[in-house]
Structure 1
Amino acid sequence: MPNRTDLKSKLLSFLDSYSHILLIAMLAGLLAVIPGEALALTNGQEGRGNYVIIGTLVDKQGVPVVDVSVKAFSIDGTELLGETESQEDGTWRLALIQLPAGELQIKIEHPRYIPQTLNLSVHDLDNLNEVGLYRLGETTLDWEINAGFWAATIIFLGVILLIAFEKLHSTTAALTGFSALFLVSYVGGDFNPNFFIFSFERGLSYINWEVIFLIMGMMIIVAIIEATG
């Protein structure tokens, strides 16, 4: 029966032999996900309609807020007239095919912010009907301290403690924390929307690809120098 050293050497040999294949497969998977996210954002932002309402969403520091759900309802809140999401610069564009008979209700929702409801009066809708465009201006969102916030805080402190006491390698600890965030978002979020922190697609946007490829290039150069002297 092979001992632990033999198994470890075989595993390292396998990873060394097929590392380029694993890297290509990982990059291919990421590239398959990113266009899907871009297409979804494009479809949400460039809807067709006779009437267009635009605005901007920022937090208290004036930083644009992305991925905020913006929906238009009739004043009683029963009929959905249109929906979209805010973009990287905080702007959103809501296209409506028709206008309600009375006032219009716009609901702004995001897991990390307090929901807001804005009402457009009959006079505002008359202007929208004449011009075809209504500028709602800038809306400031307030942070909501919910279950997702506390879960993210506990995970962050746990990662810091793992690194500080050297219980795990720093990279392994970071990946463990990253995985825990997804676990809370997708498992806990199914039971309670307040547990949702961020999506996998949004997590990909936080990755600094320039640093990753820089480190990869440096590792390749170091390996070549070690092999050739």
Structure 2
Amino acid sequence: MKKRARGPEQKEARRRRILAGAEALFRDRSFAETTMAEVATRAGLSKGAVYLYFATKEQLFLALLVDELAGWFDVVDAGLAKGGRSEAVARLFATSLAERFMMTKLLALLDGVLERNIDEETALEWKRFFGARIERTGALLEARLPVLRPGGGAKVLLQINALVIGLRQMSDPAPVMTRLADQPELAIFQIDFERELTSALTALMRGLERPSLAS
């Protein structure tokens, strides 16, 4: 029989094992294909133990997204502090996002899946975290691109979020579409995530240099 974790350190260690198990499984599977039972097995715990830490699968994967986003925001904040013009900012965002497949895959599920089966406390904690990081990084973006008005940086980050969600969904098609990818007439639907994101972000940042678009 597996012993229940007692102290805070043991509980956090188990929580990290659960998150690591979920990440390992989700990397090569869809959300629907990843089960809590498999996560528990991967973490070396019982299924019941996993539910002591995460009430639903959505709550578990939302916690994984929070971890991923925290690391990404730290990288972007450090990059913005180094300076650079709009095209350098576009490359910073595009490169850092392309390097985080797990995070962008989870973002693509956020509104339609991950926020659908969580309690109000979890939802409020999540939105407070996300909002605070958006505002913090948005302020750094405003310092880097003075044409942005106060609050404009946060709006740009939300626009980038929308781009990421759309391009990740398009670049990670359903299995039937993957099997049809070699059809010449379907070539237009083959999306390279990093290339298209870089192009879109470069256009966005250049557009922000026009004051009428930066408010």
TM-score by length of 2: 0.23
Query: Which has the bigger relative contact order, CA under 8 A and spacing at least 6?
Result: 2
Judging by fraction of residues, say which structure has more strand. 1
Judging by fraction of residues, say which structure has more helix. 2
